[in-house]
Chain A
Amino acid sequence: MFETSSTSAIKCYHCGEDCPDDKISIEDHHFCCEGCKIVYQVLHQNDLCTYYAIESTPGTKVKELPSTKKFAFLDDEGLSASLIKFRDSKISRVTFYIPSMHCSSCIWLLENIYKVNPAITESKVNFLAKTVSLTYLHNEVSLRQVVEILTSVGYEPQITLEDTEAKNDSKYLRSLYYKVGIAGFSFGNIMMLSFPEYLALDADSDSIAYLFRYLNVLLSLPVFFYCSTEYFTSAYKSLKKGVINIDFPLSLGIIALFGRSLYEIVSGTGGGYMDSFTGLLFFLLLGKLFQRKTFEALNFERNYRSYFPVSVTVIRKNEETTIPLANIKSGDRLLIRHNELIPADAILFSGEGNIDYSFVTGESTPVVKVPGERIYAGGKQTGGVIEVEAVKDVSQSYLTQLWNDKSFKEEHNSNITEFSNIVSKYFTFILLAVALGAAGYWLTVDYGTALSVFTAVLIVACPCALALSTPFALGNTLRIFSRNNLYLKHTTIVERLAKADTIVFDKTGTLTETGQMTVEYEGEMLSGYEKSLVKSLATNSLHPLSRRILDILNGVRVFPVKNYTEKAGLGISAEVEGKSLKLGSIKLVNGVVTKEHLHEKEESSWNKTIVFLSIDGMIKGKFVFSNVYREGIGGLIDKLKKNFKLFILSGDNESEKTKLRAVFGNDDNLYFNQSPFDKLEFIKKLKNEKKKVIMLGDGLNDAGALAAGDVGISVADDISNFTPASDAIIKGTNLPKLYQYINFSKTTLNIIKFSFVISAMYNLIGIGVAVTGNLSPLFAAILMPVSSVTVIVITVTMTTFFAKRRGLLK
């Protein structure tokens, strides 16, 4: 009945997709659409065809021809100023995020963009971050023209007015590199200069030994005053909050190490432990660097602003102008075109609204609105142009108000995990008790020994191994996850994943594939006339299933219908052209459920809906709707069911309830028709019950729930697409592996605990020596790096080993 077009072997020269025919071509190159052809022409004219030589079909399909007015808002001075990073009398510099960047051809083209317009003097790509930095002569070319040039070659920049958080991040990363460099430099040189101490060289080289000691002091000064500062500030900050985190005993150790060494050297009583001190800092900072695996092209902080357009067309005094989104006031008349988002709550003024609220509610069928009706922000207009009148500001609109909730302001970003904080709290108390006890004992003998024993204990017991195991184990886990397309914002998420006991799923786009349900017709072939009959009937219904049937009945006539009736949950029927048509469940179509159709009913249990068609009482066939659940979801739920409490929060209607019940076992935990606020409140309620919640969702409507959950995971089919703010992003195809991921997080935590035991053993040995008052610099110099290195090696190899055993690594 639904013929598929004969597959043409012609691939588009630009984007590699199949061409519908061979009509669009230049010379012997064929194109799938006008858009691709235009891009080719632009490149050809500017001698940029090397683009096609580096990789074959490097382009991205040009979905719509850019309208000339699209970037008109960039002419606005204030707006363009906020985008431009640097500007002097001649040049401007600007950085754009380009989502369609994907191959080396892209890099080449974007870095040769000056060939299109020489006024762009420099362009530099950061491939992982998918950004291009452009320098241009702003007297010769405007920002708008630059953007239009990029768009004309198929690389439309994504312009949002988000805060550039990534910038601060890279600043911190640089400072971390500085610190590692300096600490490593000092460590190496001090090690070398400490050789006379280790070998206890004889008296005649004393003057040299003194010189070396002072050189050591000189070399360790930057390490103490620059490299270690973040440990002091972190310890101080948490102390102010009344918490002892791992940075506190670390800071104590650092200060004791440095102070004691300085005292020994200045007073001439010994060589100090500058080598241990700088080595400790070097390893600690290396751990920080290792832990910081960032996924630059991913953005975990997006809020509604990145979904919304930067500007909107308003009608003022009968003239169309574009204004930045933030300037919309209630009462403004906005012009919304096909596929544009409605930025603020508004009332439809003119035109036929066909609003797709899938962003807001997850319900995928567009809602028809007539003038006078209210439209909520976040809806997407499909169809013709509409004019709406804003009734609220952007930030005060229904959906965007979600972001005013305090869940979005909660800071649970601390770098240190809960577990190591608890351990370090006890550790610190025991450490102080031992140090003071030993000092108290020696106090009865003499003061000098007491002080040196006190500092020696602090030095040796400094929890460096403790502080190292966490970043290395978690950092490695983060890398392993990223190989499996699960990207965590932070290493601490690993711990929260492992501790979760409740998992909440969104349905649409999370459990199901984003690309809607499929319809197939099975049964007697329908003639064109019969198709018309079906279409005439289905047109009258607004039920999503009817709408889907209409989609596949393109291009046939519609007749008037009589006696149209719609029975909720059963189906629709009417008389068309004197024939009685029924469309619905077997009960409606056949009157009774016969034996032969019983299996059909069962079949429709899990992921299918079947709608029967009868004409004049004769069953002609059936429409089979498959809600495309992601592959492997059933198996995943089965596994999770045993260990977790599972919930579904769907913005959609209840039509899928029976199917989901079949998998979930009961329907107490299935919630439908949930608004974004309901979802948020639901997660909060679970958290009040002391549940550790993982929330999985995909759309703006889940944003509140994602922020409120202990771990919010965005599910995306294309990870470079927009995802709402979350703690983690998972690629849809990897969702069925969620159970393995959670289990692996638990393994990682156990590995950390194991390495804690090892480092505690080292500490016991060290303290045992220190309390007797015999801590030689050589002993400290050996013990410290050895314990650090063993812990690093153990955690990294063990996490890798277990990942391999679980099939997460090859």
Chain B
Amino acid sequence: MSVPFIKVEDLIFTYDDEDSIDKHYVLKNLSLEIEKGSFVCVLGHNGSGKSTFAKLLNMILSPDEGKIYIDGLDITDPEITEDDLFEIRRKVGMVFQNPDNQLVATIVEEDVAFGPENLGVEPSEIRRRVDSALETVGMSEYATHAPHRLSGGQKQRVAIAGIIAMQPECIIFDESTAMLDPQGRAEVMNTIAKLNREQGITVIHITHNMDEAVKADRVVVINEGEVFLDGTPKEVFSNVEKLRRAGLDVPQVTELFYDLSNHGVDLPSDILCEEEGAEILSAWLKK
């Protein structure tokens, strides 16, 4: 097995609690490895430390203790140069929750160009990257529009294009679908899946939406600053009781099948997809 793209060892992150002398632990002994090209979903309830974890990965925050290796480079090394830091931020792009607060320019294509411009890329190459990034997210026809006239899902796709134009190897989506309506959510999720599948970009998707987590290769549940569950969506969501204890729900279909099998009905309890569930149920009802 090759070296994992992201390797995190015994990460500790604290902040001073206003109400007590003790420090408040956001992350305690978090260790994780993420393979290149994988699609990982990080789940956790509010305050579980999942967003903090994301911000540590490109050094927006720095940990109190522990090591973070990105592509083999130790980014927690105090002697890391500023150039290394910017290279890390180029490799590990980040898309945030509020689409309005991450667009810089008054015209869509100028905003997408912002990242490559900061990297000092040649003008003709920027032009090429901007066009292809907008094409990838399906926003080419809006290239010369003003961002404030777009819908939430469209704005978020422009933000994603702005990251793609920097040619990252990994993109972290920090609750990027949380503020969108169902349609915008679907648009963004399709774009994310496409990037992972067609361009081999490693995706770390942070969310508390269970139905989105089902689409990932791997689900990591963070609770109380530690890895609580880790595995394929099927493996993770079969732990219905455990997830509930961590303050999380499971997808509705899974919950239905779990309750049915608890009541003595002979059905599998690891169904994640609604279509699959419907088929099994109708077959079972016909019996």
The answer to whether A and B assemble together is no
- Report B's interface with A, CB cutoff 8 A: none
